[in-house]
Structure 1
Amino acid sequence: MPSRRTLLTTAMASAVAGAIGAPNAAHAQTYAAYAMAYFKESPDMTDDSYALHLAVSRDGLDWTPLNQNAPVATPTAGMQGLRDPFLLRKQDGTFTVLATDLKGRVFNLNNQYIHVWDSPDLRSFTGYRRVRLHNLATHSWAPTAFWDPSRNRYAVVYSAFNGTRDVFMVNYTTDFVNMGAAQVFFDPGFNILDGDVLVHNGAFYLAYKNMANGNLYISRSATGQPNTFTTLTSGVRQGSAIEAPILVKANGANTFWLWGDSFQPDNAVFYAWRSTDINGNSWTALNQRDYTAPLSSKHAGILPITEAERAALVSRWGAPQWNRLKSYNFPGRFVRHADSVARIDPFPMEPPADQQWRLRPGLADPAGVSFESVNYPGRFLRHSGYAIRLDANDNTTQFAADATFTRTAGLADVAWTSFRSYNVPDRYLRHSGYVLRIDPITASSSATDRQDATFKITY
């Protein structure tokens, strides 16, 4: 059996699984957005949710969680919870959702089943079932799938223990009910985790984690058949620990993204790289300024969708009624309140709701904005002695003015946002020593001052 360290590492797997089929040309030619499926975890378990969540994005980098970041479907059989949800567009344009049959952070090492749903449009989920993949005394973790045209079947790839080491197994199916016999799909001779297959220009690209050194790799096969993959890359990693790679082709561009997830709940951060050559060994790490994953999201699945599908999903499930504010020069930090003091702290943080804000029309001027706490309704960010605090609205004119800000183009980046004080208009909201305050910022102010006063309104 795997070592305890291997099992614990595997247990916190947080891939963003994105293997997709080869959908009909009628679908492929209209892709202009992306959908993501995920479950949730937070450091102290206050935001844990072992159910299916959805988010959408136009650019594949900044994500809008749907249904207020609440589940859209929940397993009712097996362990009655899921990890590692995966989205597949089938050949007929409808969808299948696969997921690991696990709930919480206690892991079943001998579970031969996975969860499956059908969906015509990701607006409803039907046909829920558990399907058995094998009869081995091992698990069935992080299932992904792709269309294999040579077999006229879908390949379901997942992590399992073959009696010697952790490998990828595969089952071939036409309906995700009759799953076929299990066989080894990829075994490079060392423990691996979290396989993800991208089909591009007729070739098959498999991303995986090498458990021996903790790096993510990409391999290629001309046929996609078991044991035909050759590794292309020398391995990448960001952060102290990473796994769960995903390969995504950007819509309408010769750009590829490789995503990875720090699996530790107390350091749950998505990382990403970009390349213009899927066959090469050159991947550039993205700054966290360039992307924002949904709050508390873990081990997600990404696939391209049309703009009409994106709009329909937002219409069905709704966009959040709250926002987060990301720091420009510390993009791993978000504005939050702690003991009534406003500051920027690293994500993730507890409780997660401390970083969620309802952007209200300005209390003193509806053309401005006021920031109401989600978990302390009726309390707003306001300046007092130029420091920013979270205080209860006392309905005075002074409070309304102190709690109102005017949005402007970002002082460090016009695509971002800066906030000028309503009643002290030469001062802007900024962080200093990670604590928020309002300070004068002028044409002669330093680049650092301008960056400190620039934020992204996100989710």
Structure 2
Amino acid sequence: MLKKNLIKLSVILFIFMTGCASNSKDVYLFSYFVGNGQDGLHLTYSYDGHQWETINNGQSLLKPMVGKDRLMRDPSIAQGKDGVFHMVWTTGWWDQGIGYASSTDLINWSEQQNIPVMEHLESTRNSWAPEVFYDEADDLFYIIWASTVPELYPEIETSANEKGLNHRQYYTTTKDFKTFAPTELFFDPGFSVIDAAILKTDSDYLMVVKNEMSVPVEKNLRITRTKDLKEGFPTEVSESISGKSWVEGPTPLQIGEYMYIYFDKYREKKYGALRSKDGQNWEDISEMINLPRGIRHGTAFKVSEDILNKLLVLTEESQ
């Protein structure tokens, strides 16, 4: 009990001292899962994008309650102009919907819901890695995910454990997470594609995707850019930017003058990262970052330091 109170006191003292300093600074959070996603949402934070510290002692902040498998894989979080955080996630390996919940503090969450994004196409095999992106220009949320729909894109030759999956990116939009635009095709580059993630830059929108082809082997990251999100992204993508490792779960983040892309080197059981000033020339900084052990596919996003401070207090009080 004494140790617990000392830890809580140190957190409060830290928050008081940082609060007495200059204006609130930007801080970066990273939502992620561990294992198979069965225990739910995890968060880590950083001030520089290199050194990341766990929140809630690395324990789950929200248990999954929806979906056939009751999983919370690939948690993606975006904050709206009203300050509310919206999260979507993969609820199971073979679901036709995705999970959704909202929060004002990343501790207390709304009732979890299933968004039936692909149930209108009965042959849909999966709904994987949904990514939520808030477009300030139109005050509109985009939700993008990967699905295999055999009647639209026939099964292809794959490695034995991938079951012939041939993904394309689909999407819906919403302003309030109560009503949703009809699901439509979002991105079809002519190959099996998953894990699309968008970053708004000063001049355009950058999207990073994974080429999921296994015959011939790809498993790498590609870039495409557009000036107008409504018009979509060019299907002509860059060459691989991620090297020879098999990677997944890219998440882009702007930190100062650099664009960062973090990604899961899932065969090597570690995380990698790239950075670039122009979005064309990428530097591998995998050896310069330190993320929590066991971290899996998630989303990096910026919040105010006030959000982090409240989050640290709330998680300490819940111990």
Please give the range of the TM-score, normalised by the shorter of the 2 chains: 0.7 to 0.9
Residue in structure 1 matched with residue 11 of structure 2 by the alignment = none
Q: Distance in 2 between matches of 1:247 and 1:62?
A: 16
Answering whether residue 101 of structure 2 is matched by residue 117 of structure 1, we say yes
Q: Distance in 1 between matches of 2:137 and 2:283?
A: 34
TM (norm. structure 1) is 0.56
Q: Distance in 2 between matches of 1:276 and 1:167?
A: 29
Residue in structure 2 matched with residue 77 of structure 1 by the alignment = 66
Given that residues 250 and 297 in structure 2 are in contact (C-alpha distance below 8 angstroms), is that contact kept between their aligned partners in structure 1? no
Deviation at 1:173, TM superposition (A): 1.1
Residue in structure 1 matched with residue 295 of structure 2 by the alignment = 297
Question: Tell me, what secondary structure is at the counterpart of 1:237?
Answer: coil
What whole-Å deviation, never above 9, does each CA across 1:40-76 have from its counterpart, x for those lacking one?
02xxx8xx74411111111122111111211110122
Given that residues 197 and 251 in structure 2 are in contact (C-alpha distance below 8 angstroms), is that contact kept between their aligned partners in structure 1? yes
Deviation at 1:34, TM superposition (A): 0.6
Given that residues 66 and 314 in structure 1 are in contact (C-alpha distance below 8 angstroms), is that contact kept between their aligned partners in structure 2? yes
Given that residues 169 and 186 in structure 1 are in contact (C-alpha distance below 8 angstroms), is that contact kept between their aligned partners in structure 2? yes
Q: Give the counterpart letter for 1:176 in structure 2.
A: F
Question: Tell me, what secondary structure is at the counterpart of 1:176?
Answer: coil
Given that residues 147 and 153 in structure 1 are in contact (C-alpha distance below 8 angstroms), is that contact kept between their aligned partners in structure 2? yes
Q: Give the counterpart letter for 2:76 in structure 1.
A: F
Q: Give the counterpart letter for 2:116 in structure 1.
A: R
Answering whether residue 239 of structure 2 is matched by residue 255 of structure 1, we say no
Question: Tell me, what secondary structure is at the counterpart of 1:311?
Answer: helix
Residue in structure 1 matched with residue 31 of structure 2 by the alignment = 37
Deviation at 1:149, TM superposition (A): 5.4
Residue in structure 2 matched with residue 276 of structure 1 by the alignment = 277
TM (norm. structure 2) is 0.79
Q: Give the counterpart letter for 1:193 in structure 2.
A: I
Q: Which runs of 5+ in 2 are unaligned?
A: 1-22, 154-165
Deviation at 1:269, TM superposition (A): 0.9
Residue in structure 1 matched with residue 115 of structure 2 by the alignment = 131
Deviation at 1:155, TM superposition (A): 1.1
Q: Give the counterpart letter for 1:57 in structure 2.
A: S
Q: Distance in 2 between matches of 1:149 and 1:255?
A: 21
Q: Distance in 2 between matches of 1:151 and 1:207?
A: 21
Deviation at 1:202, TM superposition (A): 5.2
Given that residues 208 and 250 in structure 2 are in contact (C-alpha distance below 8 angstroms), is that contact kept between their aligned partners in structure 1? yes
Given that residues 270 and 293 in structure 2 are in contact (C-alpha distance below 8 angstroms), is that contact kept between their aligned partners in structure 1? no
Residue in structure 1 matched with residue 248 of structure 2 by the alignment = 243
Deviation at 1:167, TM superposition (A): 0.9
Q: Distance in 2 between matches of 1:89 and 1:215?
A: 28
What whole-Å deviation, never above 9, does each CA across 1:14-46 have from its counterpart, x for those lacking one?
xxxxxxxxxxxxxxx9652111111102xxx8x
Residue in structure 1 matched with residue 19 of structure 2 by the alignment = none
Alignment RMSD (CA, Å): 2.3
Q: Give the counterpart letter for 1:81 in structure 2.
A: L
Residues 411-430 of structure 1 correspond to what in structure 2 (within 5 A)? none
Question: Tell me, what secondary structure is at the counterpart of 1:195?
Answer: strand
Structure of larger gyration radius: 1
Residue of 36, 46, 65 corresponding to 1:57: 46
Question: Tell me, what secondary structure is at the counterpart of 1:51?
Answer: coil
Question: Tell me, what secondary structure is at the counterpart of 1:312?
Answer: helix
Q: Distance in 2 between matches of 1:299 and 1:62?
A: 18
Deviation at 1:115, TM superposition (A): 1.0
Normalized per residue, which structure has more strand?
1
Q: Distance in 2 between matches of 1:255 and 1:147?
A: 20
Question: Tell me, what secondary structure is at the counterpart of 2:245?
Answer: coil
Q: Give the counterpart letter for 1:260 in structure 2.
A: F
Off by >4 Å, runs of 4+ in structure 1: 149-152
Q: Distance in 1 between matches of 2:131 and 2:224?
A: 16
229 and 127 in structure 1: CA distance in 2 versus 1, 3 angstrom threshold: farther
Q: Distance in 2 between matches of 1:268 and 1:49?
A: 18
Given that residues 24 and 306 in structure 2 are in contact (C-alpha distance below 8 angstroms), is that contact kept between their aligned partners in structure 1? no
The percentage of counterpart residues that share the same residue type is 24
Residues 265-414 of structure 1 correspond to what in structure 2 (within 5 A)? 267-278=268-279, 281-288=280-287, 290-318=288-316
What whole-Å deviation, never above 9, does each CA across 1:135-178 have from its counterpart, x for those lacking one?
22222111112234565421111111242141110101122232
Aligned residue pair count: 274
Q: Give the counterpart letter for 1:189 in structure 2.
A: G
Residues 47-196 of structure 1 correspond to what in structure 2 (within 5 A)? 49-78=38-67, 79-102=69-92, 107-108=93-94, 111-134=95-118, 135-136=120-121, 137-138=123-124, 139-148=126-135, 152-162=139-149, 163-164=152-153, 165-196=166-197
Q: Distance in 1 between matches of 2:25 and 2:237?
A: 28
Answering whether residue 211 of structure 2 is matched by residue 224 of structure 1, we say no
Q: Distance in 2 between matches of 1:314 and 1:61?
A: 20
